[in-house]
Structure 1
Amino acid sequence: MPRFRRLITTLALTAALAAGLAACGDAASTPAAGAGGRLAVVATTTQVADFARNIGGDHVTVTQILKPNIDPHDYEPTPADITAIGAAKVVVKSGVGLEKWLDETIASAGFKGATVDASTGVPIRQGNGEEDQAAGDPHIWHNPRNAKVMAQNIEQAFAAADPPDAAVYERNLAAYSAKLDQLDADIQAKIGKLPAGDRKLVTNHDAFGYYIDRYRLEFVGSIIPSFDTSAELSAHDVDDIVAKIKQTGTKAVFSESSLPPKTAEAIARQAGVKVVAGEDALYGDTLGPEGSAGDTYLKMEEHNTDVIVQALGG
């Protein structure tokens, strides 16, 4: 990808200049030391950044690269990203090939710390179509059991990078894991109230497979038939999903917060069903902005479940 490599080269030059300027200043004030001596962490996605904050508490400083409602599938790093990575002690990534840009960015930044792949140990769903991501389905966070594994991987990385505070990270993990267990139980109870024949899901793209598998919903299809939102949508794809909605008696089409709702709205009209969009849109690829119904992982999954149950059960 020549455009990407040109961008990385530009970012590398920017990072080198920034590093040179930082070297002339007070080393204690650089992000590597972290604010107040805290562990300096860079987290790629909104989800792993939220996990990192819960595990690290006030013993870490987390720089989050992807902002809320920014599609992670087609992201390009900025000079600020490469500078932050170069100064960090730990980089946390979601994994499963989601951050296609990260390896070259880390190399360009001259990063010398630890990189933790939060997906390590998570059972990965594989795709069926040509457009599916070769590494598998990267949307692993939509099963709270997977989120527990991700949080544990982060805790282990923090403890290794900052041994004096290892006990703190262990306690924080235990507290957060209990919340994830409660979330899992709550979702099961809510979905369990839906009639089995109404548990049919149509979304913008194939982002909810782990959720569907965990809570035994039926995946009718997605508007973009791929794990990746950058996949091309054909007229045949549109006709196919409209036909499936009609054939299965699916009640709604769910838009996603990080994607434009127009196609979902058009397909819902053709199929004669309601579209769920706007403030009720599902949080698929990212958390929501601060103050929204999905500004933390726990709130995101609770919001998604409440919207799904209301739309399919109403």
Structure 2
Amino acid sequence: MPKNWWAAIALLLALGALSACAAQGPASGRPDSEDPRPLVLTTFTVLADMARTIGGGHVRVESITKIGAEIHGYEPTPSDLVNAQEADLILDNGLGLERWFERFVASVPVPHVVLSEGVEPVDIRSGDYEGKPNPHAWMSPLAAKTYVDNTVKALSRLDPAHAADFRTNGELYKRELDAVMKELKEAFRDPGAARALVTCEGAFSYLTRDAGLQEAFLWPVNSDAEGTPHQIKDAIRFVQAHKAPAVFCESTVNPSAMEQVAAATGARLVMPLYVDSLSAADGPVPTHLDLIRHDIRLIKEGLAP
């Protein structure tokens, strides 16, 4: 992001702070007309759903990136930074997911918590990111329990009066994740089903590890150079070698490269899988738990004999 853009933002924030002080006078905090609950910002919609569920109405939760956004290379807007000044807490994923976030959080004097802290990472095995941790740990029902525990701790520090409710909601959430894990194991017990998942982005390493599936993908992390000829050839060879009946793509990326793989191999293209973003409330994956269950069903159907 250009340096002068951040300088402009800093000026904007300073003017915004002066304006707020003038409007509010000597009193601090939000105006009486606004929601008095603590404001928690998350970097993307999946984390917002977790925080909202665990918060149980005691906190106000908003996502910086909106539904359908590509979160890896997101560029914060001036309004994002101005709105962040009002937050009491920011929750991010970590593991290198939000490449824009370090600069963002340095621009706002708000505490933040990394929800993947304590997760045992799966390393990326190819491309420019080889050896770095795969950031999509919320896709694992097992790893997601660490996110829940970290969210409970963060909200309890923010709002100690409701800590007991946060703990109760967190335990209920982890029971749901246990149920999802059971569904995942049962979904891929059929010995006749294919056991190779081929996707556009390598966002399913944690899910395939939990399910006992092999994994291949076009690119390890969403980037500007997606679907190179070399990536497409490698995916075609993998599909042919493993006789994969279907290939998959995610909701936030262009499927044209995977369409070439499907055409070259005769595999069906099944989509959309959801990873980086929930759907709207009336869509197929309005919550994090819905997202994992949706993907399990779609993958099971695609790999069925």
TM-score range, shorter chain: over 0.9
Counterpart for residue 222 of structure 1: 217
CA deviation vs aligned residue, 1:66-95 (integer Å, no higher than 9, x gap): 112211111000122112222111110011
Match of 1:177 among 174, 178, 183: 174
Equivalences for 1:76-155 in 2 at 5 Å? 76-109=75-108, 111=109, 113-132=110-129, 135-155=132-152
| 2:191 counterpart letter in structure 1 | P
Which piece of structure 1 moves more, 6-15 or 53-62?
6-15
Instruction: Report the AA paired with residue 198 of structure 1.
Output: A
| 1:263–1:163 Cα change, 3 Å | same
- Give how far 1:101 is off: 1.5
- State the distance in 1 between where 2:132 and 2:35 align: 39
Aligned to 1:41: 40
2:269 counterpart of 1:297: no
Within 5 A, what are the aligned runs for 1:17-96? 17-26=15-24, 30=30, 35-96=34-95
1:201 aligns with 2:197: yes
Asked whether 1:191 is paired with 2:188, we answer yes
* Aligned-pair Cα RMSD in Å: 2.0
Letter of the 1:268 counterpart: A
2:204 and 2:165 map into 1 onto residues whose CA distance is 33
Whether 1:167 and 2:164 are equivalent positions in the alignment is: yes
SS at match of 2:292: helix
Q: Deviations over 1:247-287 (max 9, x none)?
A: 2101111011001122211210111111013xxx1002222
**Distance change >3 Å, CA 292–CA 121, structure 1 → 2:** same
User: In the TM superposition, what whole-angstrom CA distance separates every residue of 1:77-133 from its partner, at most 9, and x where no partner exists?
Assistant: 012211222211111001101112222212222x1x421100111001112234226
Residue matched to 1:7:
5
Partners of 1:270 and 1:10 in 2: CA distance: 49
DSSP 3-state at the match of 1:24: helix
Q: State which of 268, 276, 283 in structure 1 corresponds to 2:274.
A: 283
User: Higher mean Cα deviation, 6-15 or 84-93?
Assistant: 6-15
Q: For residues 30-84 of structure 1, what are the alpha-carbon distances to aligned partners after superposition, in whole Å with 9 as ceiling and x for unaligned? A: 38x9954211111111111111101112110112111122111110001221122
What whole-Å deviation, never above 9, does each CA across 1:218-252 have from its counterpart, x for those lacking one? 11x2122x133334542122122112211210111
CA contact (8 A) 2:193 2:304 kept: no
User: What is the alpha-carbon distance in structure 1 between the residues aligned to residue 291 and residue 196 of structure 2?
Assistant: 20
How many pairs does the alignment contain?
303
Distance in 2 between residues matched to 1:70 and 1:300, nearest whole Å: 15
Residues 246 and 270 of structure 2 are in contact (CA less than 8 Å); yes or no, is this contact kept in structure 1?
yes
State the alpha-carbon separation in 2 of the partners of residues 156 and 14 from structure 1.
33
In structure 2, C-alpha distance between the alignment counterparts of 1:217 and 1:55, rounded to whole Å: 31
Q: In the alignment, which residue of structure 1 is the partner of 2:232?
A: 238
Structure 1 residues 134 and 115: alpha-carbon distance in aligned structure 2, compared to 1, 3 A threshold: farther
Report the more deviating stretch, 51-60 or 12-21.
Answer: 12-21
In the TM superposition, what is the alpha-carbon distance from 1:189 to its structure 2 partner? 1.5
Q: TM-score, normalised by structure 2?
A: 0.92
What's the CA shift string for 1:124-178, capped at 9, x where partnerless?
A: 1112234226641000011011111101101101111111111111111112111
* In structure 2, distance between residues paired with 1:116 and 1:135: 21
